[in-house]
Amino acid sequence: MKASAIEFRLRMLINMTIVVLGFWAPWTAALGLGRRIPLLEWLPLELSRLGLLSFAVASPVVIVAAALIAAIGAILRVWGTAWLGPGIVQHGQMQAGAVMADGPYRFVRNPLYLGLWCMVAALAFIMPPTGALVAMVLLTVFLLRLILGEEAFLTNQLGQPYQNYISAVPRLVPRLSSTLPRTGRKPRWLHGVLAEITPIGVFIALAFVSWSYNRLLMGRVIIVSFGLSLAIRAFMPNISKDSGLPE
């Protein structure tokens, strides 16, 4: 079930394809599933229809929930990248240096994948309900494949130290405390922020723009943040070299 090397190399493209498919949801019209109303609007309607919450209460509750998920995703992505380094995060091949047990990696082994999952889960609130469901199922399966592939690679490359790390730190459900010794490594927060503009843009769209229910405006914020991230990514290798970040 683990991902192949080509899947790892194309992981960004595959993730993008999953997200686009979720927004497109071509089966919605083909199967007569009704209007392409986003989950952000559909969920409050369903909650009020079921009598769980009034629509006036359900609407802000859903928006706040989406914004919180987006915030978690952005925090995990920035935090993880600040410690690991953009060069490694964006590399086309799996990398094996010393075991990373600082920052978020003291509490969960895969903060970047967990952050990506949260980011797409936040985006799912702007997708049609069936598109959101399909996107999250596909993304979950793909990320698990990537995680299993990386774990096999790191176990083979790093041996017992990584096995000890696996025994001490959970894969995806973060623990609240850690007894692992610190290595003394320092995070590079500016580079973490610059490398993770997209999840920050998703948070901005869900936390501030979604209150208008203007899908076009939310889409523009997300697309602009993604375009900006690609531009920064093109210069990131040079920035990383200048600042001593690992590649």
What is the Cα–Cα distance from 63 to 193, expressed in whole angstroms? Answer: 24
pLDDT band of 95, cuts 50, 70, 90: confident
What is the Cα–Cα distance from 103 to 117, expressed in whole angstroms? Answer: 19
Query: What's 50's DSSP letter?
Result: T
What is the Cα–Cα distance from 78 to 8, expressed in whole angstroms? Answer: 20
For residue 240, is pLDDT > 80?
no
The C-alpha angle 208, 209, 215, rounded to 5 degrees, equals 155
Joined together, the tokens standing for residue 15 give 């993730």
Per-chain mean pLDDT for the chain? 91
For residue 232, is pLDDT > 80?
yes
What is the Cα–Cα distance from 210 to 65, expressed in whole angstroms? Answer: 12
Quick check: 106 and 165 in contact, CB under 8 A?
no
Q: Which residue has the higher pLDDT, 232 or 65?
A: 65
Q: Mean pLDDT, to the nearest integer, of 98-124?
A: 95
For residue 245, is pLDDT > 50?
no
Number of domains into which the chain is organized = 1
Joined together, the tokens standing for residue 12 give 């960004």
What is the Cα–Cα distance from 236 to 246, expressed in whole angstroms? Answer: 12
Question: Whole domain around residue 156: which residue ranges?
Answer: 5-27+35-243
* Largest separation between any pair of C-alpha atoms in the chain: 58
pLDDT band of 36, cuts 50, 70, 90: confident
Across 65-74, 75-84, 98-107, least confident range? 98-107
What whole-number percentage of the chain has pLDDT above 70? 94
What pLDDT does residue 244 have?
37
What whole-number percentage of the chain has pLDDT above 90? 76
pLDDT in tens, 129-168: 999 999 999 999 999 999 999 999 999 999 999 999 999 9
What pLDDT does residue 129 have?
94
